[in-house]
Amino acid sequence: MEGTRLDGIAKALAALAAAGGERAPESLTPGDLVAVGQAFGALIRQVDAAFAPVAAEIARQSRVELGKDSLAKKQGFRTPVALIQATTGSSVGEAIKLVQVGEATAPRTSLVGDDLPSPHPHVAAALASGALGMTAASAIIGLIDRLALRVDAARLDAAERELAERAPGLRADEFARLLARAEALLDPDGVEPRHEECRAKRSLTIHERDGMLHLAGVFDVETGAPIKNALEAMVTRTLQRNEHADDATHDDRSVAQMRADALADLCAHGAACDQLPTGVGATVIVRMTLKELETGIGTATIDGCDTPIPAGAVRRLAADLSVIPCVLGGGSEILDWGREKRRFTRAQKLALVERDGGCAMCGAPPPWTHVHHTRWWKRDGGATDLEDGLLVCTGCHHRIHDDGWDIDIDGTGMDAKVWFIPPAWLDPQRTPRLGGAARYRLAGVGG
């Protein structure tokens, strides 16, 4: 094993000790717990990065063509993945990722013996630094390799670099959203066939078992967005009532139970009824350029859904539903109210979704959010203007107020970046954390 990989593990161990990793967890302050968690994460990433080339070499020495001389077979295993899985105690999926990443990031040798760089240098560098984990590395490699025959090499290189930089610190669902948008930007012509493939797989099965009715549905985004938006609008109204309810009127159902009851209510009313209990929040909001809307060429995104859809699908949605293309400030709507109104209007909220994408802090879908004054209405004399608005869900709204988070909005308009600054008791360094839709923008690939 190369000394640099061992050096990385040694440094991660030293950082863990400095953070207090040798102390009992219950003796740590909240800030210390976060620091120890980060140190453990860095150590795990360094160990995985060091083992990935070893896993790749095990796979190389266990090639099928080696027959009985295969390393895995000599050890009593049918495949190298099975050997790695049993040796490390990991899952089969984790072992496959180790082999894949190890093979994709290892230096190469040409046919004449010259040294060649790694086929994925940016992922390799991020792994070596301990910034990138195996799951994200595998996903980036898979995306780049999948598009290699259809996308210019320079754009793919820029995308790999930017994805490797953006991945650290993102949750799994946030990273999946980033990858989906990156693929749509890199290969817009591939969105339509992928969408049609998903559409062909849509299904809803219903059966009765153990006294319960079981519904199992799989929907493409075009078909599923109206279902999701209608149910989430009904759930959101209940959660908003709960925010100010006392013990006697508080709705104690889980969100899953609320969704089930909402579906039952919708079906009971009937699709043709004009008294559906969804409220205005069930409108499908589609975001695309005017040119894409007019020509039907390109891609669009639906508020609350991660996967882009072809622009042509919007026309099918518009035939049956209330679809609003995002045109900020259209229809003579006033987007700035100063101190005249305390509550932000629906038009202002729709505009802020373009910048924040949903809850700017945790990424919850737009129907779950309301607009928060970044300069508080009472304490700071904040105005009900777009520049002073921020989309947050109820939980994050309370967290910002109760825990002492600060908010910094860098820039103006819909391209501004939202930064959340944690309180000192949680992060002594108070390192700003990027929020809003900027987390998913990829400048290097045209997004």
Q: Pairing state of beta strands 369-373 and 389-393?
A: antiparallel
- 370 - beta bridge partners? 392
Question: What percent of the chain has a predicted confidence (pLDDT) above 70?
Answer: 86
Task: Give the model's confidence band at 41: pLDDT under 50 very low, under 70 low, under 90 confident, else very high.
Answer: very high
**Type of residue found at 443:** A
Count Cβ atoms within 10 A of the Cβ of residue 243 and give its class: 0-12 exposed, 13-18 middle, 19 or more buried: exposed
For the chain, what is the radius of gyration of the CA atoms?
A: 25
**Tokens standing for 317?**
């949605």
Q: Are 389 and 352 in contact (CB under 8 A)?
A: yes
Q: How far is CA 299 from CA 60, 140, 273, 318, 425, in A?
A: 41, 21, 32, 15, 43
3-state secondary structure of 350: helix
Bigger pLDDT: 376 vs 190: 190
Question: What percent of the chain has a predicted confidence (pLDDT) above 90?
Answer: 34
**Tokens standing for 46?**
């360094």
Q: Tell the residue number behind the tokens 């890199």, with chain if given.
A: 186
Q: Are 287 and 303 in contact (CB under 8 A)?
A: yes
* CB neighbourhood size of 158 (10 A): 18
**Tokens standing for 264?**
């039952």
pLDDT digits (tens, 9 = 90+) for 44-71: 999 999 999 999 999 999 999 998 899 9
3-state secondary structure of 285: strand
State in Å, rounded, how far the first CA of the chain is from the last one.
39
Bigger pLDDT: 348 vs 323: 348
Q: What is the mean pLDDT of residues 255-283?
A: 69
CA dist., res. 32 & res. 18, Å (int): 10
3-state secondary structure of 250: coil
Residue extents of the structural domains in the chain: 3-169, 203-325, 340-445
Q: Please check the confidence at residue 389 and state whether its pLDDT lies above 70.
A: yes
Of the candidates 283, 308, 328, the one whose C-alpha atom is nearest the C-alpha of residue 186 is 308
Q: What is the mean pLDDT of residues 260-279?
A: 68
Question: Model-level pTM greater than 0.75?
Answer: no
Q: Out of 211-225, 278-292, 315-329, 406-420, which region has the weakest mean confidence (pLDDT)? A: 315-329
CA dist., res. 195 & res. 311, Å (int): 11
Q: Please check the confidence at residue 308 and state whether its pLDDT lies above 50.
A: yes
CA dist., res. 323 & res. 314, Å (int): 8
